Amino acid sequence: MGHDLMGQLVQYIQSYLSSDQTPGAAGNMFWVLVYILAVFVGLSIAVIAMNWLERKILAHMQVRLGPMRVGPHGLLQPIADAIKLLLKEDIIPAEADVAIFWVAPFMVVLAAFTVFIVVPFGPTHAVTDMNIGILFMLGVSSLSVLGIVMAGWASNSHYPLIGALRSSAQMVSYEVAMGLAVVSAIVMTSLNASGTGTLSMIGIVQAQQEQGVWFIFKFFPLGLIAFFIFAVAMVAETNRAPFDLAEAESELTAGFHTEYSGFRWSLFFLAEYSAMIAVSSIAVTLWLGGWLRPFPNLLSGSTWDLIFSLFPGVTFLFLAAMCFFNAVRMPKHPFFRIQTIGLAGFGVVLGLIGLVMLVPAVRIRVQDIFWFAAKVATFMYLYIWYRGTFPRYRFDQLMQMGWKVLLPMGLGVLILTATAGLWPSIQHSIWHP
Amino acid sequence: MAVDTAFNMAPVATPFFFYMLSGIMLIGGILVITRKNPVHSALALITVLLAQAAIYLMLYAPFVAGVQIILYAGGIMVLFLFVIMLVNIDRAAKERTFNSQWLVGIVAATALGGLFVAVYTKGNNIFPEHALSVIENDNTQKVATMLYGQYMFAFEIASLLLLVAIIGAVVMAKKRI
């Protein structure tokens, strides 16, 4: 009897493998859980990597070395930081509203992580595909502002309250421009034979595939302008430099999370970075063709397919080669022996991952995820670049930018996009009344 | 999918979820009117609105659920909190929250209770016998064709009203026009 149950379970697990749907759409609980776990682990690793990369890249932009002590080239620094944060004393201010102070960080983390159930890493690589995908992402990510407001108010202190007020005003303002830019991309999805668009994240990418163009290049320059509006609004939406007035150190100490420490603070940190990844994936899905590889039409054919499918493995092998190169360049002093071995070991791990990704069965399944991740990674680099180069805005400048520049631009782009989409039929009715 | 039914996912619209969500809404609603602290009330109201969005999802109306989250929980309630946070809580908590309009209250409560009882006893004729088989996959598209086709006029009137409200807010807020 027990054996029979095991057989059924295995059959249930295998039944999804032949399906060409997302596990959520196929209704397979096992694979849904596997995907959720994979997304969660992947995100956590991405946040850890982002922590290290941000400090390293910022340091190099400012001609510093950045973290160098913990592990080779500071590779283990994020882990050391995480241990420090977990061991730190957790302080709740005496006058704080304890219940709300407790709930706020979880609210922010929940909002930041929940959106990832509709992010399409590939045609079937999403936890589920919702009919309202993009609406769900915008809605749930807008809930994070509630967490920020709760945190700022519950701290019962001046800096957090002002930080929370600034952040909520900023997020509510930029959501409007962001929404208009998103709508103009959604309008573009309806330019097909049936004339109906879609809000589903997978559907949006498939629309770009069918129309043979990424929406950033559609109706040039309209798609580009909409993308630009979104790219500005998403930086403001995530409270990052140059729009990080909510946590402007010189004025507000640390803004809404001034009173938070230890584990709770690290939850805010986790939420901030996963929210950055989430909005970047919206931008990638809507304008940059999601999981589609570059030039699917121009460079088509099996040879190009093969070359592009080798990219993930080659990237990891390149990273491995970088590790070995730097391991060789390490000072030959005994102090550095462990670091050299560690860096070489890291290179070996990366190289093995790269080799596994070259196996045909793996590389076909991995390439969608790779292209999606590579595009998102570009945005993450841009975030760091902005932080390294732009000075912080003043608050009235920020509001002016949101309401007087981006909002009219967004409205104009939306109207022009709709007109351009209807242009063939307008033309037709003019010439053939 | 020829899989044994034991492992198949149950439909979302189970009575359990309905009772859970309505329970959350009821508790949240009671908290909204009983909390002295207006911020706590607002947060309870947000809980109610989110649970309501989940009930819309159960009714296979994902578009309404998404709009509910964006507009109410994400937009309007943030502005609510924005204002409430600037109120001096200590003073507000000492003031009496209820103005005692017992007569109106009792009449309204009796009317609503009577309505509920009437619906419960005679409800069989009002409601359809079977659950509607709504296709969830093109819910948004259906809403769109309805709004911009059949109910175009009502939709435009509603947007005109909103426009008037926006202009009115600008006129009231601006000293010199």
Q: What is the mean pLDDT of residues A257-275?
A: 86
**Is residue B65 assigned to a domain?**
yes
The per-residue DSSP string of A269-290 comes to HHHHHHHHHHHHHHHHHHHS-T
Predicted confidence band of residue A201 (pLDDT cuts 50, 70, 90): confident
Range of A64-68, A166-170, A374-378, B30-34 with top mean pLDDT: A374-378
- Evaluate whether A236 touches A174 at the Cβ level (below 8 Å): yes
Say whether A29 and B77 touch across the interface (CB within 8 A). no
Domain limit, last residue, from B70, B98, B126: B98
Mean per-residue pLDDT over chain A, rounded: 85
| Least confident segment among A106-120, A219-233, A371-385, B67-81 | B67-81
CA atoms within a 13 Å half-sphere pointing along the CA-CB vector of B153: 1
Question: Which stretch of DSSP H or E encloses residue A399?
Answer: helix A395-400
Q: Where are the beta strands (DSSP E) in A173-215?
A: none
pLDDT tens-digit map of A144-163: 888 888 888 888 888 888 88
One domain for residues B22 and B92: yes
One domain for residues B30 and B93: yes
Q: Which two tokens stand for residue A413?
A: 């782009």
Domain limit, last residue, from B53, B75, B98: B98
Sign of the C-alpha dihedral, residues A186, A188, A193, A195? positive
Chain A residues close to B77, C-beta within 8 Å: 146
Chain B residues close to A256, C-beta within 8 Å: none
Say whether A131 and B138 touch across the interface (CB within 8 A). yes
The per-residue DSSP string of B24-69 comes to HHHHHHHHHHH-SSHHHHHHHHHHHHHHHHHHHHHTT-HHHHHHHI
Max alpha carbon distance in chain B (Å)?
72
One domain for residues B65 and B148: no
CA atoms within a 13 Å half-sphere pointing along the CA-CB vector of A20: 0
Domain limit, last residue, from B98, B121, B152: B98
Please provide the distance, in angstroms rounded to a whole number, between the alpha carbons at the two ends of chain B.
66
Q: What is the mean pLDDT of residues A69-93?
A: 85
> Does the pLDDT at position A202 exceed 70?
yes
Say whether B82 and A142 touch across the interface (CB within 8 A). no
Which stretches of chain B sit within 8 Å of chain A by CB?
A: 1-4, 6-9, 37, 39-40, 43, 46, 62-63, 65-67, 69-70, 73-75, 77-79, 81-82, 85-86, 136-141
Rounded Cα distance, A256 and A153, in Å: 8
Chain A residues close to B139, C-beta within 8 Å: 131-132
Identify which of A12, A136, A146 has the shortest CB distance to residue B78. A146
- Quote the pLDDT of residue A207: 87
- Quote the pLDDT of residue B149: 86
> Does the pLDDT at position A1 exceed 60?
no
- Helix, strand, coil percentages in chain A from 3-state DSSP, rounded to 5: 75, 0, 25
* Nearest to A350, CA basis, from A49, A43, A127, A9: A49
**Residue bearing the bigger pLDDT, A91 or A225:** A225
Chain A residues close to B61, C-beta within 8 Å: none
pLDDT tens-digit map of B6-32: 344 445 567 888 899 999 999 999 998
> Does the pLDDT at position A336 exceed 90?
no
- Quote the pLDDT of residue A376: 92
- Quote the pLDDT of residue B9: 43
* Nearest to B69, CA basis, from A146, A194, A328, A346: A146
Chain B residues close to A197, C-beta within 8 Å: 141
**Is residue B106 assigned to a domain?**
no
- Quote the pLDDT of residue B23: 93
CB neighbours of residue A18 within 10 Å: 8
- Quote the pLDDT of residue A426: 82
SS3 A329: helix
> Percent of chain B scored above 90 by pLDDT?
23
> Does the pLDDT at position B97 exceed 50?
yes
Q: What is the mean pLDDT of residues A402-406?
A: 90
Tell me B134's DSSP state.
-
| Least confident segment among A42-51, A210-219, B104-113 | A210-219
Say whether A196 and B141 touch across the interface (CB within 8 A). yes
How many folded domains does chain B comprise? 2
Phi-psi region at B64: left, alpha or beta (left = phi > 0; alpha = psi -120 to 50): alpha
Asked if A9 reaches chain B (Cβ–Cβ under 8 Å), the answer is yes
Say whether A12 and B4 touch across the interface (CB within 8 A). yes
Choose, out of B1, B45, B72, the residue to mutate when testing the contact with A (most A CBs < 10 Å): B1
Shortest distance, CA B28 to any CA of chain A (angstroms):
15
Chain A residues close to B74, C-beta within 8 Å: 139, 142-143, 145-146, 175
Range of A22-36, A47-61, A298-312 with top mean pLDDT: A47-61
Closest chain A CA to residue B68: A139
SS3 A94: coil
Chain B residues close to A15, C-beta within 8 Å: 1-3
Chain A residues close to B6, C-beta within 8 Å: 8
- Quote the pLDDT of residue A227: 92
Residues whose CB falls within 8 Å of the CB of residue B67, separated by 6 or more in sequence, listed in order: A135, A139
One domain for residues B143 and B86: no
**Is residue B118 assigned to a domain?**
no
Domain boundaries, chain A: 25-292+359-422
Say whether B8 and A153 touch across the interface (CB within 8 A). no
> Does the pLDDT at position A383 exceed 80?
yes
| Least confident segment among A1-15, A349-363, B108-122 | A1-15
> Does the pLDDT at position A267 exceed 50?
yes
Predicted confidence band of residue A220 (pLDDT cuts 50, 70, 90): confident
> Percent of chain A scored above 70 by pLDDT?
99
**Is residue B170 assigned to a domain?**
yes
* Nearest to A226, CA basis, from A419, A406, A398: A406
- Quote the pLDDT of residue B137: 67
Identify which of B65, B74, B136 has the shortest CB distance to residue A143. B74
One domain for residues B44 and B94: yes
Which residues in chain A (291-330) have CB-CB distances under 8 A to chain B? none
Say whether B63 and A135 touch across the interface (CB within 8 A). yes
Asked if A199 reaches chain B (Cβ–Cβ under 8 Å), the answer is yes
One domain for residues B93 and B148: no
> Percent of chain B scored above 70 by pLDDT?
79
Parent domain of B157: 135-177
- Quote the pLDDT of residue B6: 38
Distance of CA A151 to the CA centre of its chain: 23
- Quote the pLDDT of residue B12: 54
> Percent of chain A scored above 90 by pLDDT?
18
pLDDT tens-digit map of A272-292: 899 999 999 999 999 988 888
Shortest distance, CA A147 to any CA of chain B (angstroms):
10
> Does the pLDDT at position A142 exceed 80?
yes
Say whether B85 and A100 touch across the interface (CB within 8 A). no
**Residue bearing the bigger pLDDT, A169 or B113:** B113
One domain for residues B20 and B75: yes
- Quote the pLDDT of residue B134: 62
**Is residue B31 assigned to a domain?**
yes
One domain for residues B150 and B87: no
- Quote the pLDDT of residue A161: 85
Closest chain A CA to residue B77: A146
CA atoms within a 13 Å half-sphere pointing along the CA-CB vector of B109: 6
- Quote the pLDDT of residue B99: 65
**Is residue B89 assigned to a domain?**
yes
Rounded Cα distance, A182 and A237, in Å: 14
Contacts for A335-344: CB closer than 8 Å, 24+ residues apart: A339/A71, A339/A72, A340/A72, A342/A71, A342/A72, A342/A75, A343/A72, A343/A73, A343/A75
- Quote the pLDDT of residue B136: 61
Q: What is the mean pLDDT of residues A214-227?
A: 87
Predicted confidence band of residue B2 (pLDDT cuts 50, 70, 90): very low
Asked if A250 reaches chain B (Cβ–Cβ under 8 Å), the answer is no
**Is residue B155 assigned to a domain?**
yes
